[in-house]
């Protein structure tokens, strides 16, 4: 063990006692359930979204196993409809939307801005409990007979079907508030609690990305809230606005739904962009290429994302002119996204790249997201979309973004901040093996879906014609590989908490404030209120000693 003593004098009153951090500063279950500490709330979120991800993943595996044979292997068609709906609803509303802001964002954002907590800690705790209530309601909806509408709840089917749509609708309503509270908190925190010297253009890009995300959460989610309420009212007292029998218009539902759910795609992906921005610079030990471009492209995406919802409805019956506009704007949103992708690649180029597990996830992201993004441009073209709409091509596209990009960025961030959060390191060798398994499994699952989708395999079908069997079987094998990679990851991450080596004070050599507080952070994050004097990502300011010193 190296015995590098820190160069400055550290006043240690009782050398025998372990340093107090946020994990051991108070004990007992109530000190967690009632905590206002953003790090503890973030950890509770991490556990929650982790379980939601595993549940959603289990549903996905069931879907893939069922599709091993053309006639379906496991379920009746009705049950199959419920299983894929559960997969979509769990993954979207309980995992992908809250995952990064709720867990990593909650833990890291106040550290990055040099604050003692988020601006509104009670609201933060409330946000977690709303998430929990939403999860309980979702579970209740399953017990009450499930729901088979798909995660999009399209009217009029969601009005006519005799399943627990009201219950799952209420779950989504409550989850929406949870999301709003997190976003609101982050906006106020970034505006009001930045450390002295931390100007807007010294903010780490994860903060910029979460800020843009928060704007979307606050401004888009209420529309989803009123939409699911209106569906509930349709079922309860037949208000009639989405019900064609009563003179209503189901396409209006689609407009309302996608007015939220397209920006929601960016609620999901912008935090992932933020993590990748952070990781490419730290693990390449090189200032980020195009810092301001990436920061502003997040805001540009946030604005444009409100104007493209109609591209989900090219076959639903809109005016032709509206379709032109939506198609054009969809191409437009690709520009800020491409700016990010190029800037990341330019950052890695000629950097001092450390190929550790967070960076491997990041590189996997860069490849997968290029495919996911470009297939989105293909789908945004009107004439092509008319053929590809509601096929597996769409399924493959959004899984390349949602699973391949967002979940992988989440894993990348988790591996990156794991030593900071827990003060312990996982097994790097196993981690690298898991990245490879996940990358291979992911592509094996979804590349065949592009092919079969372009050949006409419709999404959401419980059965299919035998011609598609090779693609489906390849996809199912890929899903099993992917699942085993994730199982390996969960296993070594959890064991690292008990047997993991002590992490370094600054494991990867980051220079943002999240790496300047003690590891793991104390209850109030910093021993002294920090002041920022360096530009962001200025690696000349890196304290190499902190990379050798064990966390206390």
User: CB 40 → another protein: shortest distance, Å?
Assistant: 12
- Considering just the CA atoms, what is the radius of gyration of the chain in Å? 23
Task: Closer to another protein by CB, 196 or 470: give it.
Answer: 196
* End-to-end C-alpha distance for the chain, whole angstroms: 14
Which 155-194 positions form the footprint of another protein (CB under 8 A)? 180, 184-185, 187-189, 191-193
Neighbours of 456 (CB within 10 A): 14
Task: Closer to another protein by CB, 447 or 524: give it.
Answer: 524
Is 247 a binder of another protein (CB under 8 A)?
A: yes
Where does residue 36 rank: exposed (0-12), middle (13-18), buried (19+ CB within 10 A)? middle
Binder to another protein among 248, 310, 423, 441 (CB under 8 A)? 248
Name the DSSP letter for residue 21: -
Contact string 260-299 vs another protein (x = CB under 8 A): ----------------------------------------
> Which range, of 72-80, 239-247, 263-271, 393-401, touches another protein by CB under 8 A?
239-247
Contact string 74-113 vs another protein (x = CB under 8 A): ----------------------------------------
# residues near another protein by CB under 8 A: 48
Binder to another protein among 246, 386, 465, 494 (CB under 8 A)? 246
Is 467 a binder of another protein (CB under 8 A)?
A: no
Q: Select from 479, 471, 391, 472 the least CA-distant residue to 73.
A: 472
> Which range, of 275-283, 374-382, 499-507, 516-524, touches another protein by CB under 8 A?
516-524
Which 198-227 positions form the footprint of another protein (CB under 8 A)? 218-223, 225-227
Which 12-71 positions form the footprint of another protein (CB under 8 A)? 20, 25
Place of tokens 């540009």: 300
- Strand pairing class (501-502; 424-425): antiparallel
Task: Closer to another protein by CB, 48 or 263: give it.
Answer: 263
3-class DSSP state for residue 26? coil
Task: Closer to another protein by CB, 21 or 341: give it.
Answer: 21
Reply yes or no: is the peptide bond before residue 384 cis, omega within 30 of 0. Answer: no
Binder to another protein among 126, 133, 142, 239 (CB under 8 A)? 239
Is 501 a binder of another protein (CB under 8 A)?
A: no
Task: Closer to another protein by CB, 1 or 236: give it.
Answer: 236
Report how far apart, in Å, the C-alpha atoms of 32 and of each of 186, 447, 462 are. 21, 43, 43
> Which range, of 247-255, 443-451, 465-473, 532-540, touches another protein by CB under 8 A?
247-255
Q: Where are the beta strands (DSSP E) in 110-217?
A: none
- Alpha carbons 181 and 130: distance in angstroms, whole number: 9
Q: Select from 349, 258, 344, 352 the least CA-distant residue to 305.
A: 258
Is 238 a binder of another protein (CB under 8 A)?
A: yes
Is 303 a binder of another protein (CB under 8 A)?
A: no
- Alpha carbons 479 and 415: distance in angstroms, whole number: 22
- Alpha carbons 414 and 417: distance in angstroms, whole number: 5
- Alpha carbons 150 and 129: distance in angstroms, whole number: 25
Helices 408-422 and 357-380: angle between axes, nearest 10 degrees: 150
Binder to another protein among 249, 535, 545, 550 (CB under 8 A)? 249
Q: Select from 219, 220, 309, 213 the least CA-distant residue to 270.
A: 213
Q: Select from 492, 503, 486, 488 the least CA-distant residue to 422.
A: 503
- For another protein, the binding residues (CB under 8 A) are 20, 25, 115-121, 123, 180, 184-185, 187-189, 191-193, 218-223, 225-227, 230, 233, 236-241, 245-249, 252, 256, 522-524, 527, 529
């Amino acid at each position: 063990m190296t015995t590098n003593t820190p160069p400055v004098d550290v006043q240690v009153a009782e050398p025998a006692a372990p340093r107090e951090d946020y994990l051991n500063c108070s004990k007992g279950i109530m000190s967690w359930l009632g905590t206002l500490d953003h790090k503890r709330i973030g950890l509770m979120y991490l556990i929650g979204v982790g379980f939601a991800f595993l549940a959603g993943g289990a549903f996905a595996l069931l879907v893939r196993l069922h599709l091993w044979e053309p006639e379906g292997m496991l379920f009746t068609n009705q049950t199959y409809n419920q299983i894929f709906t559960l997969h979509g609803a769990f993954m979207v509303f309980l995992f992908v939307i809250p995952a990064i802001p709720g867990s990593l964002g909650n833990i890291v954002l106040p550290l990055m801005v040099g604050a003692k907590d988020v601006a509104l800690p009670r609201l933060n705790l409330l946000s977690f409990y709303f998430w929990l209530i939403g999860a309980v309601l979702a579970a209740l909806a399953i017990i009450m007979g499930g729901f088979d509408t798909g995660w999009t709840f399209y009217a009029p089917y969601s009005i006519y079907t005799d399943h627990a749509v009201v219950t799952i609708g209420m779950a989504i309503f409550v989850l929406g508030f949870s999301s709003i509270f997190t976003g609101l908190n982050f906006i106020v925190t970034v505006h009001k609690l930045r450390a002295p010297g931390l100007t807007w253009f010294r903010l780490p890009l994860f903060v910029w990305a979460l800020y843009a995300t928060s704007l979307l959460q606050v401004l888009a989610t209420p529309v989803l809230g009123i939409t699911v309420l209106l569906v509930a009212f349709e079922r309860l007292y037949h208000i009639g606005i989405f019900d064609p029998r009563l003179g209503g218009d189901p396409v209006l539902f689609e407009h309302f739904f996608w007015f939220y759910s397209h920006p929601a795609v960016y609620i999901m992906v912008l935090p992932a962009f933020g993590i990748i921005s952070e990781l490419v610079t730290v693990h390449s030990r090189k200032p980020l290429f195009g810092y301001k471009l990436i920061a502003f492209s997040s805001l540009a995406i946030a604005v444009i994302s409100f104007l493209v919802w109609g591209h989900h409805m090219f076959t639903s019956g809109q005016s032709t002119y509206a379709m032109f506009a939506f198609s054009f704007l969809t191409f437009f949103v690709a520009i800020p996204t491409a700016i990010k992708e190029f800037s990341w690649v330019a950052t890695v180029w000629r950097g001092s790249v450390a190929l550790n597990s967070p960076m491997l996830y990041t590189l996997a992201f860069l490849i997968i997201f290029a495919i996911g993004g470009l297939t989105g441009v293909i789908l945004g073209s009107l004439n092509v979309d008319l053929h590809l709409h509601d096929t597996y091509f769409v399924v493959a596209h959004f899984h390349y973004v949602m699973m391949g990009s967002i979940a992988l960025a989440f894993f990348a961030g988790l591996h990156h901040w794991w030593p900071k959060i827990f003060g312990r390191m996982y097994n790097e060798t196993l981690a690298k093996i898991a990245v490879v398994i996940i990358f291979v499994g992911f592509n094996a699952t979804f590349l065949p879906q592009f092919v079969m989708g372009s050949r006409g395999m419709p999404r959401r079908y419980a059965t299919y014609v035998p011609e598609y069997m090779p693609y489906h079987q390849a996809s199912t094998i890929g899903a099993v590989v992917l699942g085993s990679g994730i199982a390996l990851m969960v296993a070594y991450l959890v064991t690292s908490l008990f047997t993991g080596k002590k992490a370094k004070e600054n494991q990867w050599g980051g220079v943002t404030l999240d790496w300047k507080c003690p590891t793991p952070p104390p209850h109030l994050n910093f021993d002294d209120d920090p002041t920022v004097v360096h530009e962001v990502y200025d690696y000349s300011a890196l304290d190499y000693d902190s990379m050798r010193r064990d966390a206390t």
